Structure 1
Amino acid sequence: MRGLREIAASFVVPGPSGVAVRTRIKQLTPADEEVLRLVGAHLGALAGRDLKARCRDGLEHEAEAWAVRKRELTPQSSARWAGSITKATHDQWALARRGALAHLQSLEAGVRTIRHRLSLPVGSKGAKRAPGGYRSRREWHAKARRLRVLEDRLERERADWEAGRVQVVRGGKRLARTRHHLPCAQLTEGGWRERWEAARWFLQADGESGKRYGNETIRISPSGEVSIRLPAPLRHLANAPHGRYVLTGRVRFAHRGQEWADRIEANRAVAYRIHYDTDRARWYVTASWQIPVSPTVPMAAALAHGVIGVDMNADHLAAWRLDTRGNPVGDPRRFFYDLSGTADHRDAQVRHALTRLLHWATSCGVKAIAVEDLDFTGEKTREKHGQKKRFRQLISGMPTSRLRTRLTSMADATGITVIAVDPAYTSRWGAQHWQKPLTSTTRTTTRHDAASIAIGRRAQGYPIRRRTAPPRTHQSDGCGHRTLQTGPDSPGREGPRPRIPGPRTRSVPPDTERTRATRKPNTVRGARSEQEWVQDSLLLTE
């Protein structure tokens, strides 16, 4: 086959470098909630002002400007609150900068595609890697107009990128646009306003090692007591010494609770974020801290007990277990999820599917999971796929980044290694070489199941193609040679056939010898048979 791109080498995915756990703050009094609202609104206004200053500086920002902004915020909050606000501002500006670069690259790809298709005759066929011309003169004219729109937009985005201008909305651009479509979002103006204000609050503080319980601003004791260092204008609301407010409610971290407790008892840094869920009318706190990255397991050690190949699809994960020789073992497994609904629902569906996958891997004794290193950044553009709107929606809805992050974190906690492989041609070659041989009257092998085998074999370093069959005259079976790859010490996979006594001819049944051995004789022992042949004595002649 010509035109195939080079396959990248597989690699072991490094473990996570941080941990984040969330729990609910229960038993809050109305006074506690009012204090949290006032503190969040005050610090949120300071964060918005600081973000505006950072965006105004653009590419000319330097460490001295950062220090100036922090000194301006300190009298209205505290030194630690000001440090948390400026750090969050820098992170938000950097995220917007990366988003602007991605949008710029997407516009360049769209302009390049349209220009190529406009240069071709109308109705010309396309190649595998290059699209053809447009189907009609009408479509050609519409795309020519769209090219001018994209070129103008690209020129503006390029000018903003060179000048360091970014577009940031505190609270989210989607929620801001929802204000103009309240009936479609099934929201009232009061409900939208509550969401908007809660999204713009600022209640997060970075940890500091060496301080009591790892955080001086938002402090949580081992017993679950939460205390907050109030900003300077709100010190009159304090109910504890040193300008602190202690909440009535208590918290308890169920997930990684012991790890969190050991960390705060050692006074190691822990960052906290308090936020309000307007749909449930509940307050939550998220604790996060850094952990040393787990040492990368050698590829050979990870594959010592086989591997599970996983093919990610729009509604399920297709998985198949492979032994050390690359042979599929057992039946394929499918872990379904539903990606419709809210973001929290989609995230929960992904977590549940990965939990079932990891439980199955643990029960099988497998220490490695192979997944594709997918990236649909440049594959879901409108100009590349044209009228394939359903396909663009399909690949846009696949949570590749979130699934990869979730799987890495959850697999590290269970001691399972994640191996990333090149996704090129796995579905095509898997269906070509494995779908038909593994389909039987009792098992239907899908294209996705075959792709999971291709992914697992690529992680093991084996070719996806099955072993070539010998000439037909040398095949050992009447229905074809068994072509599964196996070793000489695996008789359970491709060993000798069971011994069946009897001759191997078409005229005599294969169990003739066993039947004769158990059949009752018709003659009496010691008696001469009437049909026994006796040689006559030789005649002597003279």
Structure 2
Amino acid sequence: MGGLRELAASFVVPGPSGVAIRDRLKHLTPQDEMVLRAVGAHQGALASGDLKARCVDALEHSAQTWAARKRELTGVSSSRIAGAITKATHDQWALARRCQAAHIQKLEAGIKTLRHRLSLPIGEKGTKRAAGGYRSKGEWFRKSRRLAALEARHTAAVAEWQAGRVRVVRGGRRLLNTRHHLTEADLTEDRWRERWEAERWFLAADGESGKRFGNETIRVTPDGEVSIRLPAPLAHLANARHGRYTLTARIAFAHRGAEWADRITANRAVAYRIHLDTERGRWYLTASWQRPVIQTIPLETARARGMVGVDTNADHFAAYRLDRHGNPVGNPHRFGYDLSGTADHRDAQIRHALTRLINWAKRAGVTALGIEDLDFTPEKTREKHGRRKRFRQLISGIPTGKLKARLVSMAAEHGLSIVAVDPAYTSLWGAQHWQKPLATPRRTLSRHDAAGIAIGRRALGHPIRRRTAPPPRDQSDRVGHRTVQAEPGDRGREGTRPPTTDRAHEGPSPSGMRKREPSASKTVRDAPSAQQWVQDSLMHTG
């Protein structure tokens, strides 16, 4: 047990802090689309210039430089638009810095692994906790070259970090690189150019509490009328008072429409964003707002009515319901999804699987879901898994970040809490202690189902093992921990013994056949111990 790492404590995941809803802008006139394109292109150019200025400032950024940039933008737009652009710029720069730090950590992990493996003799076998040496001299040489390349990248990345230099592409680096692979992406140059320009537009406005309908720049009335405050150079395109342009489209939010209407009626802040889906040729408006911080319920309250343990896999969720004592109830459930195809298809698959999981949990009567606090960031490197390319692709395909956000948001709407647990040893111990005892001829229990039980028990605060080890001097072999479980089923020798008669020991039976004389037991039993230990059965009450 000394080699096991310390487990992190389970905790209740905080609820979502924001809401976003979307509706389509239908029946736009050509004039409406022309105005939206003009405003988006103008403000997008301002956002690009502001991002460049922020990157030039690097670590010299201050409140004075921020105010100076905002004053410059106000003259060619408005004060509110300038504030929205500079805020978006700062958020983008901060995100780039966090990604840069994560990249440096990933390089350091790869360098550490390569140095360790290169220091070992060629052909030395590894262990479960550390990789061994390389298989041949040729592989050793190639990995030494890769070590030099990673060290050079690390040196350059650290220098950029210390200088405050970040690399940001407005519109997305992936879309930028697609320009060189139009055939593989099934795009023409004109279609790519249209997507590139649309991604670089800026048609967004932050909300303001106390202002009419919660937003002065992009205003949506309770009856769905959408109007935009035009920047100063485009004021001649206005069709309403005070330099505003009113669209012919009407908005009607089907999802959370009542909550949105309550906010704008009370003049509470609502942020809006307008964007164009170039593939479908459709315009959309997204409304978002912040929620007050929701106090999470205590962990003991979440455990009061049992738990559903959920094991996350590459193609399905394996869920098992447990009562508050940690006993499995009923049969395992699996909710499959397909993570191949486009990003929208993968996102829809995750939503559908989570919807079925949450609905089943509600019908089961529990108030919490136990799930592993997964983070595969340090597990995806080539240096850690070497030739196991399919395994690297497998763990890279599990959308842990998006899954967490989706699950927390969707569960909160149904009154379910999420309990995050340490993922260490759940699959191993679940298969060891639960897979075989619960398997029956009519119920096949997989390793993933057993892991769901292990996750649920850890979320409930119970040990995963079904049996606690006895005191050292009362173990049959006197060494180690005796945690091996008995096979399922009753043993014949433990049944009721037949009653003895008065003639049982008086010689031959009335039929003349001689009975076998009783013999001494060959089983050597230990003397009873004064100490006792607890042995949990499959069903126990705490």
**2:541 alignment partner in structure 1:** 487
Distance (whole Å) between structure 1 residues aligned to residue 146 and residue 361 of structure 2 = 50
Superposition deviation, residue 487 in structure 1? 2.2
2:468 and 2:536 in contact (8 A); partners too? no
SS in 2 for 1:321: strand
Aligned length: 487
**1:319 alignment partner in structure 2:** 319
**1:290 alignment partner in structure 2:** 290
**1:415 alignment partner in structure 2:** 415
TM-score by length of 2: 0.88
SS in 2 for 1:267: coil
Distance (whole Å) between structure 2 residues aligned to residue 197 and residue 156 of structure 1 = 31
Superposition deviation, residue 156 in structure 1? 0.6
1:466 and 1:485 in contact (8 A); partners too? no
2:105 maps to a residue whose letter is Q
**1:92 alignment partner in structure 2:** 92
**1:136 alignment partner in structure 2:** 136
**1:194 alignment partner in structure 2:** 194
1:230 and 1:245 in contact (8 A); partners too? yes
SS in 2 for 1:437: helix
1:252 maps to a residue whose letter is A
2:430 and 2:451 in contact (8 A); partners too? yes
**2:29 alignment partner in structure 1:** 29
Distance (whole Å) between structure 1 residues aligned to residue 309 and residue 228 of structure 2 = 48
1:302 and 1:368 in contact (8 A); partners too? yes
SS in 2 for 1:333: strand
Superposition deviation, residue 114 in structure 1? 0.7
Deviations 1:201-236 (A, max 9, x none): 000100000000000000011111100000111011
Distance (whole Å) between structure 2 residues aligned to residue 261 and residue 397 of structure 1 = 39
**1:52 alignment partner in structure 2:** 52
Distance (whole Å) between structure 1 residues aligned to residue 537 and residue 416 of structure 2 = 30
**1:206 alignment partner in structure 2:** 206
Question: RMSD over aligned Cα, in angstroms?
Answer: 1.8
Distance (whole Å) between structure 2 residues aligned to residue 41 and residue 125 of structure 1 = 59
Deviations 1:101-129 (A, max 9, x none): 10111111111111111111001111222
Superposition deviation, residue 443 in structure 1? 1.3
SS in 1 for 2:437: coil
The equivalences for 1:495-514 within 5 A come to none
Distance (whole Å) between structure 1 residues aligned to residue 199 and residue 489 of structure 2 = 70
Distance (whole Å) between structure 2 residues aligned to residue 274 and residue 302 of structure 1 = 40
Larger Rg: 1
**1:506 alignment partner in structure 2:** none
SS in 1 for 2:378: coil
Distance (whole Å) between structure 1 residues aligned to residue 81 and residue 376 of structure 2 = 39
1:86 maps to a residue whose letter is T
Superposition deviation, residue 469 in structure 1? 10
Q: In terms of mean alpha carbon deviation, does 293-302 or 157-166 score higher?
A: 293-302
**1:243 alignment partner in structure 2:** 243
1:182 maps to a residue whose letter is L
- Structure 1 unaligned segments of length 5 or more: list them: 489-542
Distance (whole Å) between structure 2 residues aligned to residue 147 and residue 252 of structure 1 = 57
2:68 maps to a residue whose letter is V
Distance (whole Å) between structure 2 residues aligned to residue 349 and residue 198 of structure 1 = 27
SS in 2 for 1:355: helix
Superposition deviation, residue 98 in structure 1? 0.5
Distance (whole Å) between structure 1 residues aligned to residue 325 and residue 491 of structure 2 = 25
**2:362 alignment partner in structure 1:** 362
Superposition deviation, residue 338 in structure 1? 1.0
Distance (whole Å) between structure 2 residues aligned to residue 487 and residue 161 of structure 1 = 56
The equivalences for 1:77-476 within 5 A come to 77-467=77-467
1:204 maps to a residue whose letter is A
Deviations 1:27-51 (A, max 9, x none): 1111111110110000000000000
Superposition deviation, residue 482 in structure 1? 8.9
Q: In terms of mean alpha carbon deviation, does 477-486 or 59-68 score higher?
A: 477-486
2:467 and 2:536 in contact (8 A); partners too? no
- Structure 2 unaligned segments of length 5 or more: list them: 471-475, 477-484, 495-534
SS in 2 for 1:50: helix
> What percentage of residue pairs aligned between the two structures are identical?
70
SS in 2 for 1:185: coil
1:4 maps to a residue whose letter is L
Superposition deviation, residue 65 in structure 1? 0.2
Distance (whole Å) between structure 2 residues aligned to residue 253 and residue 244 of structure 1 = 23
TM-score by length of 1: 0.88
Deviations 1:310-335 (A, max 9, x none): 00000111100001111111111111
Q: In terms of mean alpha carbon deviation, does 176-185 or 432-441 score higher?
A: 432-441
Superposition deviation, residue 100 in structure 1? 0.5
1:216 maps to a residue whose letter is E
